Amino acid sequence: MNEQLSIEVTDLTVAYGEKPVLWDVDLSVPAGTLMAIVGPNGAGKTTLIKAILNLIPTAAGQVLIYGQPYTEQRHRVGYVPQRGSVDWDFPTSVLDVVMMGRYGALGWFKRPGTKERQMALEALAKVGMQDYAPRQISQLSGGQQQRTFLARALVQDAQVYFMDEPFQGVDATTERAIVELLKELRAAGKTVVVVHHDLQTVPEYFDWVTLLNVRRIASGPVSAVFTDENLRLTYGGRVAFLERNGNGVGEQGDRGVGESAVASHISPTPPRPHASTPQPRR
Amino acid sequence: MDFFQLFHDLFFDYTLRTVALGAATLGIVSGALGSFAMLRRQSLLGDAMSHAALPGVVLAFMLTGLKTPLVLMLGATVAGITGILLMVAINRYTRIKEDSALGIVLSVFFGFGLLLLTFLQRNPDARQAGLNKFLFGQAATLLTQDVVTMAIFGGVALLLMLLFWKEFKLLSFDRDFGASLGFPMQWLEILITTLLVIAIVIGLQAVGVVLMSAMVVAPAAAARQWTNRLGWMVAIAAGFGALAGVSGTLISSLGSGLSTGPVIVLCISTIVVISLLFATNRGLFWRWLYQQRNRRKLHAKQVLSNLYLMASQHAEPTHPHAITALKVMGAGERGVRYSLQVLAEEGLVRPAQGDQWALTPAGVDAARALLHNEA
Amino acid sequence: MTITQIEIQLIAAVVAIACALPGVFLVLRRMAMMSDAISHTVLLGIVLSFFVVQTLDSPWLILGATAMGVITVSLVELLSNTKLVKQDAAIGLVFPALFSVAVILISRFARGVHLDVDAVLLGELAFAPFDRLTFFGLDLPRSLVVMGIILLINLIFISLFYKELKLTTFDAGLAAALGFSPTLLHYGLMGLVSITAVGAFDAVGSVLVVALMVTPAAAAYLLTNNLRRMLMLSALIGVISAIGGYWLARGLNANIAGSMATITGVVFLIIFLFAPERGIVAGIRRRARQKLDFAQTMLAIHLLQHENRPEAEAESQVEHLVEHIRWTPAFVEQVVDYAERRGAVRNEQGQLILTDTGRSLARQALVN
């Protein structure tokens, strides 16, 4: 993990009418980090990603990618939107969707050609979907859809990736595959920021975490930041979550062996039974 | 009805040929551009834009004193674009939803057009205001020059569509992703909507308001059933549009007092119904057939396992049983015999003495596997 | 004013109110374009009923047309349930086809009958007073009687099922859980829309039914959150548009219905711009005020976060704000000025000091 900051966000503020949705958010992410963004529903996680990517108007703030304004660095940034944001009934194939990742590099009017096709097929191979290339996207399962989106992001060949809930509603195999992919990206020095909905897997999958609830509550390495206190501040109530043996997350408070699952207002998805010994990180 | 005479006329009768060409042109253009509208869930935009064009047409005439198609089309286009901008404003700045915005623009603009038209004629009776032509078009009075104008504008619109093909695909499928790549999605949106307005406007004078809304949606809806590729869908939609245009023209020329417009709509609607029912893979007919076949397969499997269950009470699994016993066992009386015949064809059962049936050794294996899988 | 003039305005007002009421629910339930579809397909209902009863003066025509409206809705639903087309496309497929059938039937088989497509589509209110009948001993225009009855039906339905309509509009799931049938209510509402559309043909024709149903309701939606008030406001706006439209048409010697639709648009535009909370002008004013308020709070938070830290001096320089936050020099001046006037900060030679007021402002924002 090198010291150069791949992402610098300062004072990012977004408001809809009277309501502030994001308030003075600062982020500094070193290159080669896997970072999760967590927070309750309505905390502004998707808004944060969209604001960084200039997809929605901001009231204030700026975004630097490797020291330059985001708008000049688009070619270094890849985006994986939420799966539910597109109509999967659209008449197009998996390969076609992945090739869309090259449209930025192609610029105006040029059609994708053999080179783009090849890159798309390689990206699909990396996510294990090369056999599905000609398939109509409405015939895909949730996990396959997600992998298609990931392949599209891979093909952008970016250095910084923003992903919005890539683990939402995918099967266990796909989830493992995605985690592997993320780790490969990190190993290649890329930075990946992921809006994540499942608190339990944060320490296992990510190096860094940002706790968000309209404001940035805390941001930094998981070991330092993912504490009960911070979670309480973020989620505003008592927090109880499955004990993690070994890699203790936070020293104080509510741990108890066999303490029951995550409080319902924290995560909309019911907690999945988890392996008792987490993998050693890195 | 003499078909040969009809086709002869199509090529040699000036009026018929011109009208047919005009209808085909508008069918192609609206079919192609309507595909994008439909995919972007803006099917009713055609309806709204057709109605909204009226004040534009009237104002263009009022301001220039000219009634040439070009002038009127320009007026219609300006009105259409104004309507769209208003809808965008309503959407963006208020909590009023898209469908209401469509309804407001459609009806208010149309009403305003009516106001202007009857004011112009100094005659409040709409019937005499020549509105008829606008509502249903005057296809029968199309001149070659009209068709040429239509073809030129339509051609330009299609060329632009092809030029911006991948950008429009991106806009329709994943707008945010396209924006993140740096494409100006808002401008592309305005462009594609303007092309749609052009498609509508060139058709209005030929076939009128109510028709144009159909010609934007129907060819695309029909084409979608036949393919999963955007390129093919647009091409097929254009083809269906042309087909409906030409056949509608021909058919309406047969009867007296049959307006071309409504007949074309019925033609394209027929194409839609046929596509919905019989298109490869998606068609409702095939869906029904598939369900029937599945039902039979399921039933046959049931009979097979029942036979096995009964037989396993004997030392020999290939012991024959009466068909009546099988009928009682709960797979349903009807079709037991049919299922047995199907199973016999697959070599899994064989008929025995009396009205009895027995499992073959292959049948025994199959039944075992079935029950094992379901366990 | 002559009796005729009064009658026309009365009819127009009754039509407007009768349309506005179901229109409110159409707008809230996002079914506005269904009114467009229904208003076209009722023509087919009229034609088919006419073929059966062979006379234009039968109440069966209205019933047949209403039934056709409901059939339209079922067809649209049927079509979109196949999942082969989306709902908006389904609407756009069904009504042009049915309408075209009607037009063809009329031109082929109903020639010479006074069933004029143009009349159905466009209506002519000016002629309405000349078609009269005797109703309970009173000599009244037919449109007034018909529309009056329809208005009554609307009022009865809405008052009877007010609770259910409200619930199914805002929370269909809860309504179903409580045992109400959202589907039944939905079809009831669509029947109401159909019968109103049919009745309004005489007066305003089909397209303008849409204007009277959707536009006043949408305008009212910008004025209130209360359903009851929204119903009343839509009716009021409808009446204003009706009367205003009449006088405009008289002045210009133009079509009354078109004029009424235009006025609904004008009223909508005025409300769109000037509505107290949700209007454009109100929004601009609010945003300008908010911008300074936000900026002031941001400034306070910014100063608070860096207070008593090594970089405090650098971070609280006025110039620094220009580069650090995305503010222009002119705006920085505005904000600092605003904050100073409100006592949130003190400006000491280019360095900003947070006051107690400012500090509590920042803390409060952080807590929320």
pLDDT: is C36 or B208 the higher one?
C36
Mutate to test the interface with A, among B163, B183, B228, B281 (most CBs of A within 10 A): B228
Q: Are C93 and B269 in contact (CB under 8 A)?
A: yes
Cα separation, B96 vs C114, in Å, equals 40
What does the alpha-carbon distance between residue C237 and residue C259 come to, in Å, rounded to a whole number?
Answer: 14
- Per-residue confidence at A265, pLDDT binned at 50, 70, 90? very low
| Domain boundaries defined on chain B | 3-282, 287-374
Query: Which DSSP string corresponds to C132-160?
Result: EEEETTEEEEHHHHHHHHHHHHHHHHHHH
C8-22 mean pLDDT: 94
Give tens-digit pLDDT for A177-201. 999 999 999 999 999 999 998 899 9
Chain A, chain C: beta-carbon pairs less than 8 Å apart: 32
**Mutation target vs B (from C80, C95, C262, C263; most B CBs, 10 A cutoff):** C262
Instruction: Name the interface residues of A facing C (CB cutoff 8 Å).
Output: 10-11, 13, 15, 17-18, 20, 23-24, 59-62, 215
Q: What is the C-alpha separation between C247 and C216, in angstroms, rounded? A: 19
- How far is the C-alpha of C167 from the C-alpha of A229, rounded, in Å? 41
C301 → chain A, closest CA residue: A24
**Topology classification of domain B3-282:** ABC transporter involved in vitamin B12 uptake, BtuC (1.10.3470)
Going by the DSSP 8-state scheme, the letter that residue A101 receives in this structure is: G
Contact A60 C301 (CB under 8 A): no
pLDDT tens-digit map of A82-104 = 999 999 999 999 999 999 999 99
Which site among C75, C207, C213, C273 would you substitute to test the B interface, given the most B Cβ atoms closer than 10 Å to its Cβ?
Answer: C207
Beta strands in A166-282 (DSSP E): 191-195, 208-213, 215-221
When pLDDT is cut at 50, 70 and 90, the band that residue B152 belongs to is very high
Asked if B51 and C207 come within 8 Å (Cβ–Cβ), the reply is: yes
With a cut of 50, say whether residue A247 has pLDDT above it.
Answer: no
- Residue C311 has what pLDDT? 67
pLDDT of residue C367: 60
Identity (one letter) of the amino acid at B33? L
Question: What pLDDT is recorded for position C335?
Answer: 83
Q: Do B123 and C101 touch (CB under 8 A)?
A: no
CATH architecture of C3-276: Orthogonal Bundle (1.10)
Give the architecture (CATH level 2) of C281-367. Answer: Orthogonal Bundle (1.10)
- Among B287, B183, B280, smallest CA distance to B232 is for B280
Four-residue CA torsion sign, B124, B126, B127, B130? positive
Closest alpha carbon within chain B to C98: B266
Range scoring the smallest mean pLDDT among C35-49, C190-204, C313-327 = C313-327
The reply to whether C104 touches chain B by the CB within 8 Å rule is yes
**Residues 235-274 of chain C whose Cβ lies under 8 A from any Cβ of chain B:** 248-249, 252-262, 264-265, 268, 272
Pairwise CB contact (< 8 Å): A11 & C324: yes
| Per-residue pLDDT, C302 | 75
Q: What mean pLDDT is predicted for residues A205-233? A: 90
Answer yes or no: do A60 and C327 touch at CB < 8 A.
yes
Q: Does domain B287-374 have CATH number 1.10.10.10?
A: yes
- Closest chain C residue to A59 measured between Cα atoms? C291
Mean pLDDT comparison of B89-93, B123-127, B331-335, C338-342, highest-scoring range: B89-93
Other residues' Cβ atoms within 10 Å of the Cβ of residue C113? 13
Residue C38: in which H helix or E strand, if any? helix C32-53
pLDDT at A259: 29
Selecting from C35, C93, C97 the residue whose C-beta is nearest the C-beta of B103 gives: C35
Q: What is the DSSP string of C312-350?
A: HHHHTBHHHHHHHSS--HHHHHHHHHHHHHTTSEEEETT
Q: Which residue of A has its CA nearest to B176?
A: A55
Query: Residue C324: its pLDDT value, please?
Result: 64
What is the amino acid identity at position A147?
A: R
| CB-count exposure of residue A172 (10 Å: 0-12, 13-18, 19+) | exposed
- Confidence at residue A260, expressed as pLDDT on a 0 to 100 scale: 29
> What is the average per-residue pLDDT within A157-175?
92
pLDDT of B333 reads 64
How far does the CA of residue A207 sit from the closest CA of chain C (Å)? 26
Q: How far is CA A249 from CA A38, A239, B267, in A?
A: 15, 13, 69
Which position has the higher pLDDT, B304 or A268?
Answer: B304
Which residues in chain C have Cβ-Cβ distances shorter than 8 Å to B258?
A: 104, 107-108
Taking contacts as CB-CB distances below 8 angstroms, the residues of chain A near B172 are 90
Interface mutation target, options C85, C95, C106, chain B, most CBs of B under 10 Å: C85
Polymer length of chain B: 375
**Which of A213-222, A245-254, B269-278, C254-263 bottoms out in mean pLDDT, i.e. has the lowest?**
A245-254
pLDDT at C6 over 60: yes
Q: CA–CA separation, C210 vs C257, rounded Å?
A: 11
CA of A137, closest CA in chain B: separation in Å? 9
Q: In terms of pLDDT, which residue wins out, A50 or A246?
A: A50
Identify the closest residue of chain C to B90 by CA–CA distance: C272
Average pLDDT over residues C102-109: 84
User: For the segment A106-124, what is each residue's pLDDT rounded down to a tens digit?
Assistant: 999 999 999 999 999 999 9
Q: DSSP alpha helices (H): ranges in chain B?
A: 3-12, 14-39, 45-64, 69-93, 98-120, 131-136, 144-163, 165-173, 175-180, 185-207, 209-224, 230-254, 260-278, 284-311, 323-328, 336-345, 361-374
pLDDT at C142 > cutoff 90: no
> Which amino acid would we find at residue B262?
P
- Among A35-49, B111-125, B252-266, the range with the most confident prediction by mean pLDDT is A35-49
* pLDDT surpassing 70 at residue A266: no
Return the residue of B nearest to A149 by Cα.
B177
Check CB contact under 8 Å for C294 and A60.
yes
Q: What percent of chain C stands above pLDDT 90?
A: 40
Pairwise CB contact (< 8 Å): A85 & B176: yes
Which pLDDT score, from 0 to 100, does residue B64 have? 84
Write the CA distances from B270 to B243, B277, B278, C79, integer angstroms.
Answer: 11, 11, 12, 14
Interface of B with C in 254-273 (CB under 8 A): 255, 257-259, 261-263, 265-266, 269, 272
Q: Where are the domains of chain C?
A: 3-276, 281-367
Give the pLDDT confidence of C31-55 residue by residue, as tens digits. Answer: 999 999 998 898 899 889 988 888 7
Of C283, C286, C325, the CB nearest to A60: C325
Give the per-residue pLDDT at C264: 96
- The pTM (predicted TM-score) of the whole model is 0.82
Percent of chain B whose pLDDT exceeds 70:
93
Q: What are phi and psi of A37, to 5 degrees?
A: -115, 120
Q: DSSP letter at A275?
A: -
Task: Tell whether B344 lies on the interface with C, counting CB pairs under 8 A.
Answer: no
Residue B124, pLDDT score: 61
- The span from the CA of B90 to the CA of B83, in Å, is 11
Q: Which residue of C has its CA nearest to B100?
A: C32
Query: What's residue C92's pLDDT?
Result: 93
**pLDDT score of B241:** 96
Interface test with A, best of B177, B186, B280 (most A CBs within 10 A): B177
Q: Are strands A60-65 and A68-69 parallel, antiparallel or unpaired?
A: antiparallel
Distance from C-alpha of C75 to C-alpha of C68, rounded to nearest angstrom: 10
Quick check: A15 and C294 CB within 8 A? yes
Contact: B176, A104; criterion CB under 8 Å? no
Which residue among A81, A92, A138 places its CB closest to the CB of B176? A81
Query: Which residues of A fall within a CB distance of 8 Å from C302?
Result: 11, 24
Contact A60 C326 (CB under 8 A): yes
- Does the pLDDT value for residue A242 go beyond 80? no
Instruction: Report the amino acid identity of residue C311.
Output: E
